[in-house]
């Protein structure tokens, strides 16, 4: 399938994947964001060697998962309502969008039901925009200090995730990513031991992943640059 992209016109999905994989330094993983994309297009990315896919809706992920190979790692990257955790808890590899203690509590309960340990990232609020979900630094601290969190055995916090402001102003974006890196280090140094697995910073999308990598990203979440411009805008 050929995709229409400014700057990468008529590249195929596999070409885009291979180009990106070639660009990423060691230690940075590519999450191919497949929201709104058909199972066939995801198969093309899979054929190019891509194994980690990100979706932002629980029902969409639940529907695609059984139609695709079992060695795919599914990452939830969108705002997740508590009553929808049950649809993905049996197979999801990582929930990157944990933005409340209540949500984490439900993930833990569902993980217990499925006899699983579910990896999670704390979504940290870094953008100037009001509409973005996420925890402030103090809220993240409170969550990690709470007895509820300390008693959870079936979730593992692996790091942080953030979405920068949607702007062409590179300095703003860089500052926000730098902020997220600083938050990551602060939480790590105060709440996690070296062997805890708290080592992921998920930041960077199609238009800003190079800046994110310079600022310490370990996971970039890229949709448009692989699959072209989405018709559904979410």
Ligand X SMILES: *Cc1c(COP(=O)(O)O)cnc(C)c1O
Contact 92, 60 (CB under 8 A): no
Q: Output the smallest distance, CB 223 to ligand X, in A.
A: 3
Tokens encoding 81: 């309502």
Q: Output the smallest distance, CB 229 to ligand X, in A.
A: 8
Instruction: Show contacts with ligand X in window 70-99 (CB under 6 A).
Output: 77-78
Instruction: Show contacts with ligand X in window 95-134 (CB under 6 A).
Output: none
**Which residue shows structure tokens 């990315």?**
45
What is the pairing mode between strands 2-3 and 11-12?
Answer: antiparallel
Between residues 85 and 95, which has the closer beta carbon with respect to ligand X?
95
Between residues 56 and 108, which has the closer beta carbon with respect to ligand X?
56
How many other CB atoms sit within 10 Å of the CB of residue 108? Answer: 22
Q: Output the smallest distance, CB 224 to ligand X, in A.
A: 3
Instruction: Show contacts with ligand X in window 211-230 (CB under 6 A).
Output: 221-225
Q: Output the smallest distance, CB 204 to ligand X, in A.
A: 8
Which residue is closest to ligand X by CB? 223
Total binding residues toward ligand X, as defined by CB under 6 A: 13
Q: Is residue 206 within the footprint of ligand X (CB under 6 A)?
A: yes
Instruction: Show contacts with ligand X in window 46-65 (CB under 6 A).
Output: 56
Between residues 45 and 152, which has the closer beta carbon with respect to ligand X?
45
Identify the residue among 11, 33, 88, 211 touching ligand X (CB under 6 A): 33
Contact 165, 176 (CB under 8 A): yes
CA 33, 39, 42: angle at the middle one, nearest 5?
45
Between residues 152 and 209, which has the closer beta carbon with respect to ligand X?
209
Q: Output the smallest distance, CB 226 to ligand X, in A.
A: 8
How far apart (Å, rounded) are the C-alpha atoms in residues 79 and 56? 7
In sequence order, what E strands does the chain have?
2-3, 11-12, 29-33, 52-55, 73-76, 94-98, 118-123, 155-161, 200-202, 219-222
Distance in Å from the first CA to the final CA of the chain: 22
Kindly list the residues in this chain that would bind ligand X in the complex (CB under 6 A): 33, 35, 56, 77-78, 163, 205-206, 221-225
């Amino acid at each position: 399938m050929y995709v229409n992209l400014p700057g990468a016109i008529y590249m195929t999905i596999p070409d885009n994947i291979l180009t990106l994989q070639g660009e990423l330094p060691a230690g940075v993983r590519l999450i191919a964001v497949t929201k709104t994309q058909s199972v066939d297009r995801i198969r093309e990315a899979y054929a190019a060697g891509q194994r980690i896919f990100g979706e932002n809706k629980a029902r969409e992920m639940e529907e695609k998962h059984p139609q695709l190979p079992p060695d795919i790692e599914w990452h939830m990257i969108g705002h997740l309502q508590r009553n929808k955790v049950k649809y993905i808890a049996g197979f999801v590899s990582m929930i990157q969008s944990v933005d409340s203690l209540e949500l984490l509590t439900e993930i833990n309960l569902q993980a217990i039901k499925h006899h699983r340990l579910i990896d999670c990232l704390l979504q940290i609020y870094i953008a100037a925009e009001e509409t973005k979900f996420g925890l402030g630094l103090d809220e993240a601290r409170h969550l990690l200090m709470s007895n509820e969190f300390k008693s959870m055995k079936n979730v593992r916090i692996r790091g942080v995730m953030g979405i920068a402001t949607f702007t062409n102003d590179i300095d703003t974006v860089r500052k926000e990513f730098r902020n997220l890196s600083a938050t990551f280090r602060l939480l790590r140094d105060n709440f996690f031991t070296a062997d805890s697995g708290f080592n992921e910073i998920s930041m960077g999308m199609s238009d800003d992943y190079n800046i994110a990598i310079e600022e310490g990203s370990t996971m970039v979440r890229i949709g448009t640059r692989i699959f072209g411009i989405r018709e559904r805008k979410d």
